[in-house]
């Protein structure tokens, strides 16, 4: 029998405009409904303008103390941009899991030659990290039903929920309440795609 | 029970405290306090004032009228409002008067390492600091009680962490709003005036004189004594090895990393509960102070004659911009594991939204080698090294006066203009413009009017066509104001019409007289302007000269391809504004 989940520490990362807030709001409602204590801390720079965004998401069956997760205590890094994924790899527990998009928004310093980019492929560095890594390439999953460049957050939510073995109805109910009416259908399609990719990955493993 | 971030909780606290008037100026991270107050609690009058000093003055007036009121700003804003606060400090308070001020701790990009607690020390006023959202709501209510009980303005200090952290808050579900009213004093003078009258007439019983008496020194001393018994300050005696005095979110970092430690959690950080501090000092072998921001608690505690370890162990800015649990673990937990981040991950400089009108202005000035000063607008990004369009940047509203000073000193031998946003213009820039005219200045001001305060998410300014108290007939007109001030040359241009923008700026600069160019286009992002077909780069024509990258548009990227690099345009981000095409000599960028 699986021992009950006492809580997890999750870092959600990406760049401004990727819907990190929506992702963490949905997840927060989900865990609230399950009766967990929560603390969610958003570190938003000038997010609107291509800055990094990180959210420290903690749920627990005991009161959560620090709003920031200490390096080494992270169970999941869920990241929508792979440069940002790299920033948090060292924070993972030994058995921590990485769920990352391979999307990349080149930083302005690299664009203009102020800084050198890493010489190796970032996806490869992430895969070599020794952690359990799931990397999703959004360009491989383009769909006529929704714009994956905007809804990668919900795709990854589906992936995460499937990976954790959660009841999808509970999650999709919250999605329906959280997004504007005209976007519900696209979001549900995106969610479903996430669960399917997750299934494929888990079988292949 | 509700999940709320600190900003929501402060707004709820204002509601439960029966606040009647809220005035503020937007500033990350606390802008949302006003937005939530306005959205959720329509009983409370809300305004975005023209600047922070005005906001504090509005709140003082409302408080004197007998109603609880608060002013909202970030700490850089309190620098602007300090004179108003100074006047209120030590004077009689009728309705509770609270300043909600946020320190932007940990922001490396913000040129801002301020600490609002200095104003508590300087003006002798109480400062409260919450550690989570429950505190934020509760302390907001307590702040008003303290303000009235001890006749003093109170600062409620939040930080970028408390503002942006969500946690559960117990709220009074049955609470019904009632604007609290208390009118005790018929007159309220600033401290200095009152002191003068009191010194001369302390023994007088004449009612005309006694009404001025306000023993503000005794008030704050009484609060200091009472603070020893106040539940705002929690002394948790535990192990005797390590003792920590802390406040704000660092309290929780300490609880997590040092569960054995004895801790004094200060909610009222000024004045200090001396007895509780001494009790902790006697209980432990080593006493640390763990505080975000400057070393203010540390100094105040040392002034009491209690030795604490602070910045000698935890060096402050620029070594550290804020505490994290990791920092505490590294220094105070023996054999803490070392974890090294991935090396050489490129950092991110802020960059302008695709299609932003600021980019058009920056590009035009760069092309014609016209130097410029800017202030804190989205245009600030033009100063960063990937663009290098402007050479001088300082505080909100500063650019007009700085350009005036530069031009005077330089005897107008060099082209040097001011670039300012509509927000900065109304905040304090307008003073610079009046000053320029009346002192016979001859420089050019470019006002980038995007119909809102874009940098903080698009709040209203006096020339916006929306806002909490908006009425079309009260909309202020930038052109008319400039005319009234006496500017000789005023033109308005659409930045996306590159040629007319260029002509307008060159004409203005070459005339060597006082002039204003109003660059008008609503903020692309705030108003979700319709997009044109995205541009793309013809890779056969592109020589990878990177000129287009220096335009500073978020949509243009240098991407690693198979073994080589390409300069590409992200079609999801591109708004089709065509600015980049104007810099490409190869004509590689096409619609
Ligand atoms: S928020 Fe508006 S003004 Fe600011 S960079 Fe973006 S488009 Fe420009
Ligand atoms: S300016 Fe033109 S040639 Fe130069 S990198 Fe850009 S697209 Fe290529
Ligand atoms: S046309 Fe060029 S400058 Fe304009 S948004 Fe697109 S990439 Fe950016």
For residues B127 and B154, give the distance between their C-alpha atoms in angstroms, rounded to a whole number: 6
For residues A193 and A30, give the distance between their C-alpha atoms in angstroms, rounded to a whole number: 20
Tell which phi-psi region holds residue B546, choosing left (phi > 0), alpha (psi between -120 and 50) or beta: left
For residues A12 and A55, give the distance between their C-alpha atoms in angstroms, rounded to a whole number: 5
CATH of the domain at B321: 3.40.50.920
Task: Compute CA distances A200 → A159, A194, A195, B45, whole Å.
Answer: 10, 10, 9, 55
Q: Tell me, yes or no, whether B221 lies in a domain.
A: no
For residues B167 and A131, give the distance between their C-alpha atoms in angstroms, rounded to a whole number: 30
* Confidence category of residue B213, pLDDT binned at 50, 70, 90: confident
Q: What is the pLDDT of residue B377?
A: 87
* Confidence category of residue A3, pLDDT binned at 50, 70, 90: confident
For residues B48 and B468, give the distance between their C-alpha atoms in angstroms, rounded to a whole number: 8
Q: What is the pLDDT of residue A46?
A: 58
Query: A52, B572: Cβ pair inside 8 Å?
Result: no
Distance B296 CA to ligand 3 centre (A): 47
Pairs of CB atoms within 8 A across A/B: 152
Let me know: does A191 contact A158? Beta carbons within 8 Å.
Answer: yes
Say yes or no to pLDDT of A204 above 80.
Answer: no
Among the listed residues B313, B237, B243, B235, the one whose alpha carbon sits nearest the alpha carbon of residue B274: B235
Phi then psi dihedrals of residue A168, to 5 deg: -65, -30
Nearest ligand, CA B576 = 3
Asked if residue B515 and residue B540 are part of one domain, the reply reads no
pLDDT digits (tens, 9 = 90+) for B156-177: 999 999 999 999 999 988 999 9
Ligand 3 pocket, residue B71 CB under 6 Å: no
Range of weakest confidence among A107-121, B362-376, B399-413: A107-121
For residues A57 and A7, give the distance between their C-alpha atoms in angstroms, rounded to a whole number: 11
DSSP B259-274: TTSEEEEESEEES--H
Three-state secondary-structure class, residue B506: helix
pLDDT digits (tens, 9 = 90+) for B539-590: 999 999 999 999 999 999 998 776 688 999 999 899 999 999 999 999 999 9
Among the listed residues A87, A114, A51, the one whose alpha carbon sits nearest the alpha carbon of residue B554: A51
Q: Tell me, yes or no, whether B316 lies in a domain.
A: yes
Say yes or no to pLDDT of B243 above 90.
Answer: yes
For a mutational test of ligand 3's pocket, the pick from B353, B550, B574, B591, i.e. the residue with the most ligand atoms closer than 8 A to its C-beta, is B574
Query: Quick check: B257 contacting A, CB < 8 Å?
Result: yes
Asked if residue B551 and residue B515 are part of one domain, the reply reads no
Let me know: does A15 contact A171? Beta carbons within 8 Å.
Answer: no
Let me know: does A57 contact A28? Beta carbons within 8 Å.
Answer: yes
Q: Tell me, yes or no, whether B15 lies in a domain.
A: yes
Query: Quick check: B344 contacting A, CB < 8 Å?
Result: yes
CATH of the domain at B450: 3.40.50.970
Q: Tell me, yes or no, whether B530 lies in a domain.
A: no
In chain A, residues with a C-beta closer than 8 Å to the C-beta of B552 are 108
Query: A38, B554: Cβ pair inside 8 Å?
Result: no
pLDDT digits (tens, 9 = 90+) for B315-337: 988 888 899 999 999 999 999 89
Query: A115, B346: Cβ pair inside 8 Å?
Result: yes
Task: Compute CA distances B39 → B32, B380, B468, B470, whole Å.
Answer: 10, 30, 10, 15
**Mean pLDDT computed over A148-158:** 95
Q: What is the dihedral of CA B375, B379, B381, B383, to 10 degrees?
A: -60
Among the listed residues B214, B235, B245, B70, the one whose alpha carbon sits nearest the alpha carbon of residue B156: B70
Question: By residue range, what is the domain housing residue B569?
Answer: 536-590
In angstroms, what separates the C-alpha of B33 from chain A's closest C-alpha?
Answer: 16
Q: What is the pLDDT of residue B78?
A: 97
Q: What is the pLDDT of residue B207?
A: 84
* Confidence category of residue A205, pLDDT binned at 50, 70, 90: very low
In angstroms, what separates the C-alpha of B498 from chain A's closest C-alpha?
Answer: 23
Asked if residue B453 and residue B585 are part of one domain, the reply reads no
More confident residue, B386 or A92: A92
Asked if residue B142 and residue B72 are part of one domain, the reply reads yes
Q: Is the bond preceding residue B318 a cis peptide, omega within 30 degrees?
A: yes
Show the domains of chain A with their CATH numbers.
7-107+121-201 (3.40.920.10)
Asked if residue B390 and residue B436 are part of one domain, the reply reads yes
CATH of the domain at B560: 3.30.70
Asked if residue B363 and residue B490 are part of one domain, the reply reads yes
Among the listed residues A134, A11, A15, A28, the one whose alpha carbon sits nearest the alpha carbon of residue A78: A11
Number of alpha helices (DSSP H) and beta strands (DSSP E) in chain B:
20, 23
Q: How many CA atoms lie within 13 A of B16 on its CB side?
A: 22
Q: How many CA atoms lie within 13 A of B504 on its CB side?
A: 24
Q: What is the pLDDT of residue B182?
A: 96
Asked if residue B151 and residue B12 are part of one domain, the reply reads yes
Nearest ligand, CA B555 = 3
Ligand 2 pocket, residue B567 CB under 6 Å: yes
Q: What is the pLDDT of residue B210?
A: 82
Query: A105, B249: Cβ pair inside 8 Å?
Result: no
Q: Tell me, yes or no, whether B351 lies in a domain.
A: no
pLDDT digits (tens, 9 = 90+) for B446-486: 999 999 999 999 999 999 999 999 999 999 999 999 999 99
Asked if residue B429 and residue B314 are part of one domain, the reply reads no
Query: Quick check: B31 contacting A, CB < 8 Å?
Result: no
Among the listed residues B20, B16, B238, B277, the one whose alpha carbon sits nearest the alpha carbon of residue B142: B16
Asked if residue B319 and residue B363 are part of one domain, the reply reads no
Structure tokens at B423: 């927000």
Say yes or no to pLDDT of A203 above 60.
Answer: no
Nearest ligand, CA B423 = 1
Query: Quick check: A142 contacting B, CB < 8 Å?
Result: no
Q: Where are the beta strands (DSSP E) in B180-309?
A: 234-236, 242-247, 262-266, 268-270, 286-290
Among A14, A67, A73, A148, pick the best mutation site for testing chain B contact (most B Cβ within 10 A). A67
Query: A150, B572: Cβ pair inside 8 Å?
Result: yes
Q: In what order do the strands lie in the sheet with B21-24?
A: B45-48, B21-24, B69-74, B97-103, B154-159, B127-128, B268-270
In chain B, residues with a C-beta closer than 8 Å to the C-beta of A107 are 346-349
Asked if residue B155 and residue B303 are part of one domain, the reply reads no
Among A34, A108, A120, A178, pick the best mutation site for testing chain B contact (most B Cβ within 10 A). A108
pLDDT digits (tens, 9 = 90+) for B51-67: 999 999 999 999 999 99
DSSP B293-359: SSSHHHHHHHHTT---B-TTTS--TTS-SS--HHHHHHHHSTTPPP--PPTTPPP----BPTT-HHH
User: What's the domain count of chain B?
Assistant: 4
Distance B256 CA to ligand 2 centre (A): 52
In chain B, residues with a C-beta closer than 8 Å to the C-beta of A32 are 3
Q: Tell me, yes or no, whether B501 lies in a domain.
A: yes
Q: What is the dihedral of CA B139, B140, B145, B148, to 10 degrees?
A: 130
Atom of ligand 2 nearest to the CA of B567: 5
Write down the residue that tokens 């309220």 correspond to: B188
DSSP A128-187: TTSSEEEEE-GGGG--SSS-HHHHHHHHHHHHHHHHHT--HHHHHHHHHHHS-GGGHHHH
Task: Compute CA distances B540 → B212, B568, B589, whole Å.
Answer: 81, 12, 11
Domain boundary among B298, B332, B366: B332
Binding-face residues of B in 77-96 toward A, CB within 8 A: none
Distance A132 CA to ligand 1 centre (A): 39
Among the listed residues B276, B268, B252, B269, the one whose alpha carbon sits nearest the alpha carbon of residue B328: B252
In chain A, residues with a C-beta closer than 8 Å to the C-beta of B335 are none
Query: B253, A39: Cβ pair inside 8 Å?
Result: no
Nearest ligand, CA A47 = 1
Write down the residue that tokens 């909100």 correspond to: B396
Asked if residue B441 and residue B362 are part of one domain, the reply reads yes
Q: What is the pLDDT of residue A47?
A: 43
Q: What is the dihedral of CA B380, B385, B388, B393, to 10 degrees?
A: 40
Please name the residue of chain B whose CA is at the shortest distance from the CA of residue A150: B572
Mean pLDDT of chain B: 94
The partner residue sitting opposite B350, judged by closest CB among A43, A45, A114, is: A45
Structure tokens at B63: 């408080």
Asked if residue B438 and residue B363 are part of one domain, the reply reads yes
Say yes or no to pLDDT of A14 above 70.
Answer: yes
Say yes or no to pLDDT of B97 above 80.
Answer: yes
In chain A, residues with a C-beta closer than 8 Å to the C-beta of B255 are 65-66
Q: Tell me, yes or no, whether B555 lies in a domain.
A: yes
Q: Tell me, yes or no, whether B192 lies in a domain.
A: no
Give the burial string for B446-479 (b: 16+ CB within 10 Å, else e).
Answer: bbbbbbbbbbbbbbbbbbbeebeeeeeeeeeebb
Say yes or no to pLDDT of A153 above 60.
Answer: yes
Among B28, B347, B354, B546, pick the best mutation site for testing chain A contact (most A Cβ within 10 A). B347
Domain boundary among B169, B199, B224: B169
Domain boundary among B169, B189, B222: B169
Q: What is the dihedral of CA B372, B378, B384, B386, to 10 degrees?
A: -110
């Amino acid at each position: 029998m699986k021992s009950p989940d006492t809580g997890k520490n999750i870092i959600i990362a990406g760049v401004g405009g990727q819907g990190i807030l929506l992702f963490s709001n949905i997840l927060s409602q989900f865990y609230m409904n399950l009766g967990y204590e929560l603390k969610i801390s958003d570190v938003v720079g000038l997010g609107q303008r291509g800055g990094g965004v990180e959210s420290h998401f903690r749920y627990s069956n005991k009161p959560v103390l620090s709003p920031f997760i200490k390096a080494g205590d992270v169970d999941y890094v869920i990241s929508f941009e792979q440069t940002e994924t790299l920033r948090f790899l060292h924070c993972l527990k030994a058995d921590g899991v990485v769920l990352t998009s391979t999307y990349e928004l080149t930083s302005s310093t690299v664009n203009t030659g102020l800084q050198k980019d890493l010489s190796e492929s970032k996806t490869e560095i992430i895969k070599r990290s020794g952690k359990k890594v799931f990397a999703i390439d959004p360009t491989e999953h383009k769909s006529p039903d929704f714009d994956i460049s905007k809804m990668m957050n919900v795709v990854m939510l589906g992936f995460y929920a499937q990976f954790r073995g959660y009841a999808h109805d509970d999650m999709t109910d919250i999605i329906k309440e959280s997004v504007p009416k005209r976007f519900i259908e696209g979001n549900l399609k995106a969610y479903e795609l996430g669960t399917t990719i997750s299934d494929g990955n888990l079988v292949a493993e | 029970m509700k999940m709320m971030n600190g900003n929501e909780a402060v707004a709820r606290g204002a509601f439960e405290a029966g606040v009647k008037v809220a005035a503020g100026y937007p500033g990350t991270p606390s802008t949302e306090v006003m937005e939530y107050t306005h959205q959720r609690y329509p009983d409370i009058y809300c305004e975005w004032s023209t600047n922070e000093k005005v906001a504090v003055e509005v709140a003082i007036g409302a408080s004197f009228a007998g109603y609880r009121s608060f002013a909202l700003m970030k700490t850089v804003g309190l620098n602007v409002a300090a004179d108003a606060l100074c006047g209120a400090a030590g004077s009689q308070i009728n309705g509770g008067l609270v300043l909600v001020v946020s320190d932007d701790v940990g922001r490396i990009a913000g040129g801002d390492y301020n600490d609002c607690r200095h104003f508590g020390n300087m003006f002798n006023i109480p400062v409260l600091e919450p550690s989570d959202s429950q505190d934020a709501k509760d302390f907001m209510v307590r702040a008003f009680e303290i303000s009235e009980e001890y006749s003093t303005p109170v600062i409620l200090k939040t930080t970028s962490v408390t503002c942006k952290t969500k946690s559960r808050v117990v709220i009074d579900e049955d609470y019904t709003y009632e604007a609290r009213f208390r009118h005790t004093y018929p007159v309220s003078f600033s401290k200095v005036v009152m002191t003068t009258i009191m010194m001369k007439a302390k023994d007088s019983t004449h009612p005309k004189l006694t009404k001025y008496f306000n023993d503000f020194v005794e008030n704050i001393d009484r609060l200091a004594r009472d603070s020893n018994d106040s539940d705002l300050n929690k002394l948790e005696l535990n192990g005797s090895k390590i003792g920590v005095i802390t406040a704000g979110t660092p309290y929780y970092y300490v609880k997590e990393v040092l569960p054995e430690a004895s801790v004094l959690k200060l909610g009222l950080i000024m004045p200090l509960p001396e007895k509780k501090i001494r009790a902790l000092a006697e209980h432990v072998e080593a006493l640390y102070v763990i505080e975000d921001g400057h070393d203010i608690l540390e100094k105040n505690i040392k002034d009491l004659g209690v030795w604490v370890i602070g910045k000698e162990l935890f060096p402050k800015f620029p070594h550290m911009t804020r505490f994290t649990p990791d920092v505490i673990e590294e220094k105070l937990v023996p054999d803490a594991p070392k974890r090294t981040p991935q090396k050489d991950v490129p950092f991110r400089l802020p960059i302008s939204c695709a299609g932003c009108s600021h980019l058009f202005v920056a590009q035009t000035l760069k092309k014609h080698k016209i130097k410029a000063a800017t202030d804190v607008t989205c245009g600030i990004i033009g100063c960063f090294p990937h663009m290098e369009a402007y050479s001088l940047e300082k505080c909100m509203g500063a650019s007009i006066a700085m350009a005036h000073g530069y031009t005077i000193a330089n005897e107008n031998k060099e082209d040097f203009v001011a670039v300012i946003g509509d927000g900065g213009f109304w905040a304090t820039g307008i003073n610079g413009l009046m000053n320029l005219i009346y002192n016979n200045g001859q420089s050019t001001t470019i006002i980038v009017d995007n119909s809102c305060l874009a940098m903080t998410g698009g709040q209203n300014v006096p020339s916006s066509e929306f806002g909490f108290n908006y009425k079309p007939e009260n909309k202020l007109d930038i052109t008319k104001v400039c005319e009234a001030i006496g500017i000789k040359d005023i033109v308005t241009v659409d930045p996306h019409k590159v040629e007319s923008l260029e002509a307008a700026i060159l004409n203005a600069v070459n005339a060597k007289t006082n002039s204003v160019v109003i660059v008008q286009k609503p903020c692309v992002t705030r108003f979700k302007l319709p997009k044109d077909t995205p541009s793309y780069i013809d890779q056969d024509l592109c020589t990878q000269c990177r000129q287009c990258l220096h335009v500073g548009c978020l949509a243009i990227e240098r991407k690693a391809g198979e073994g080589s690099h390409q300069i590409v345009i992200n079609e999801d981000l591109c708004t089709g504004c065509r600015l980049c095409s104007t810099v490409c000599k190869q004509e590689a960028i096409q619609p």
